Amino acid sequence: MIKHVKFVSIPTRDQDRALRFWIEQAGFKLLTDQPMGDGQRWLELSIPGAQTRIALFNQRDQDDRIGTAFNGAFAADDVTYTYEKMKAKGVVFDVEPTKQPWGTFAIFRDPDGNTFVLSST
């Protein structure tokens, strides 16, 4: 039976730039950096404390996915605290922490223009 989501993918034009962003500004950890042939690399990151991993991919035939909204959300115990920490590291936010009846959320952007929801757990 299915136990969890192993990884989700984030499209990028520049894997090195994306890797720096997700490690230095978002606080993820590098798990794997391997060649995949034809100039491709498999970059897999972990989110501290989570099972789900993130894969940064640069697939030539999927450039239209770069700069779009991520189909999911990242969870944080304290969205405002996480927002402040990430913003201090230079992360661009399109929406500051906003309280809703269901919780708090913010929206940030990576260097490729992909947007991500940061939501309370």
Say how many domains are in the chain: 2
pLDDT tens-digit series, residues 65-117: 999 999 999 999 999 999 999 999 999 999 999 999 999 999 999 999 999 99
Domain check: are 52 and 81 in the same one? Answer: no
Q: Which of 9, 35, 60 is a domain's end point? A: 60
pLDDT exceeds 90 at position 58: no
Domain check: are 5 and 55 in the same one? Answer: yes
**What pLDDT sits at residue 61?**
79
Which are the contacts of 52, defined by CB distance < 8 A and separation ≥ 6?
A: 4, 5, 6, 7, 8
Confidence of residue 33 (pLDDT cuts 50, 70, 90): very high
**What pLDDT sits at residue 109?**
97
| CA–CA distance, 47 with 67 (Å, rounded to integer) | 21
* Residue-range definition of the domain harbouring residue 86: 69-121
**What pLDDT sits at residue 8?**
95
Q: Which of 60, 79, 94 is a domain's end point? A: 60
pLDDT exceeds 80 at position 120: yes
The CATH number covering residue 37 comes to: 3.10.180.10
Domain check: are 56 and 6 in the same one? Answer: yes
pLDDT exceeds 90 at position 62: no
pTM over 0.75: yes
Domain check: are 46 and 19 in the same one? Answer: yes
pLDDT exceeds 80 at position 41: yes
Q: What are phi and psi of 15, to 5 degrees?
A: -65, -35
Counting beta carbons within 10 angstroms of the beta carbon of residue 22, is it exposed (0 to 12), middle (13 to 18) or buried (19 or more)? buried
